[in-house]
Structures are given as structure tokens and as C-alpha cells.
Chains A and B, each alone.
Chain A
Amino acid sequence: MPSIEQEIRSFIVGHFLLGDESSLKNDDSFLEKGTFDSTGILELVSFLEQKYSIELEPDELIPENLDSVNCLVQFLQRKVPSLNAVAQVQT
């Protein structure tokens, strides 16, 4: 079973990086690297809500929660404690 980290990486790499796994580090800032634009953020939010059956509140839509793979993993683990938290956060 894939970890949260693997699921998120798979989505980001598949949707925004044409499958180029090597170009994404887990602590890369999406904003600084220009990984995606504001439309991409909408896609990311939709992915998170559908994949993890959650609803993101407006005050959760901030870079501290969503701006890197590591941020996303940590945010999801806080938001949904029941999720399998075996993701190994890499830097």
C-alpha cells in the first residue's frame, strides 16, 4: 500500500512534471520552483479532498500546509490522524 508521501509525489509528478520523478525533492517549495500556478493549486486541493475524503477550510489553504511534499504529508497527518502515518518524510 503506497504511503501518503508516495501518493502525493505520484500526483504532483504525474500532473505537473510530465512524469519526471527526479525533478521533485520533498522539501522543494512549489511556489519558489514554479511547480504549478493557481490553477494547479485548485487541482491539488481537489485531489486532496477526493483522495482523503476531507474538506479543506479556507484558512487551511496556506503555503505552510500545501507548499511542498513534506508540508502536505505533515498537514494530512495532522488533519486526518487516522491516515496511515508511515510516510517517511525525506529531505
Chain B
Amino acid sequence: MKLLFQATWAVLRKDLRSELRTRYALNALLLFAVSAATAVSLGVGPLGSGSIAVSVQAALLWVALLFAALNGLARSFVQEEERRTSLALRLTAPPLAVYLGKLLFNLVLLALLDLVTTLLFLVFVRVSIGNIGLFIALLLLGSVSLVTATTLIAAIIARASFKSGLFAVLAFPLLVPVLVVVIQGTALALRGDPWSAGLPMLQLLLAYIVVTFVASSMLFPVVWEA
């Protein structure tokens, strides 16, 4: 068990270090976030806080997050294949540690993306958040669901040709439930509804996270050794 944690930590540290050297995924994600927020701001401008406005803002925020995530999250696995380092990784770390390490790395990336995108939306689109606690909870759980659902898919598409296009194609149908719930929940949070209104959505996201995490960690060794 301790060995697993050490190996996970090593994989995570390796990924972070190699990412900081090239900043490939980081740049892609952040520039995508900036472009999306700018485009939304130029296109729709400040919408106020009517009931339609909060729905539109919530949807735009999550669309921006989703496509930025689909742009960058496959990177950690794809680069292992492109640089032909996956064999070395296969030899040195157990599959579960690789999976957990990459999962945590993606989480770090997405947390950064969340922060930047939300700040940009607050500034450019003048989104006002009614219930900040609920908003943050939804943002966090939504992001974790994105990551638990897409990390396994990233590992799958790393083996395929036409990688980046395939990632979105495979990930989107699985993310539909998350998107629906999180967009509606975020709209409630922006409007300032109490926690009780958002609770069923948080529960559903939590269930989704548990299910996809367990399924991925069981299926990952097959993908990794395929």
C-alpha cells in the first residue's frame, strides 16, 4: 500500500516536472480558457442575473471548461506514447500507480483551469455568484467527475491514430449526465439558491465519481497492458 502511494507520488511528480519544462498542456488549457471567456464576453456581454441569464452563464462556463478539458486532459497519456516513454513507465510502476498519478495530474491541471476560467468569467462576463459555497462545491465535484471519466479514455485514445478528435468523440457521450446536472446546479448557485436545492445534484455527481473511479481503476490495467 505504501509502495503504491510512493509510486503514485513519483508518477505525479514526474508528470508535473515534465509539464513545467514544456508547459504544453498548461498553455493549451489556459489559452483556451482565455479565448473562450473573451469570446463569450464579446459575444453576449454582461447578462445581468435574471433566471435565463444565470442558465446561459452556467452553460457557457461549463462549455468553456468542457472543451478546454477535452483539449488538454489527454496530453499526459498521449505524450508517453509520442515520446515512447510508456514502455519505461510500464516497467517501473504498477498500473494502478500510473493511473492514480495521471488522475491526480489531470486534477491539478483542471483545478488550475477552473480557477482561471471562473475568474475570467467573473471579470469579463460579470457573473455574480449568489451562493459561493454551492458554486465551489459544484465546480470541484464537476471537475473531479470530468477527470475520473476522461482519464481512462485518455489512456485508450493514446493508442489510437487521430488522437485529439477521438478523445472528444469518446468522452462526450459519457459526460452528458455530468454536464446536465452541473449546468443546472451552477445556475441555481449563481441565482443564490440554498444548499438544499443543490444537494441532489452534488449527490449524483458524487455517485458518478465513485462509479467511474472504481470502473476505471479496474479496467485501466487492461488498457495499459494492451
Report if A and B associate in a common complex. Answer: no
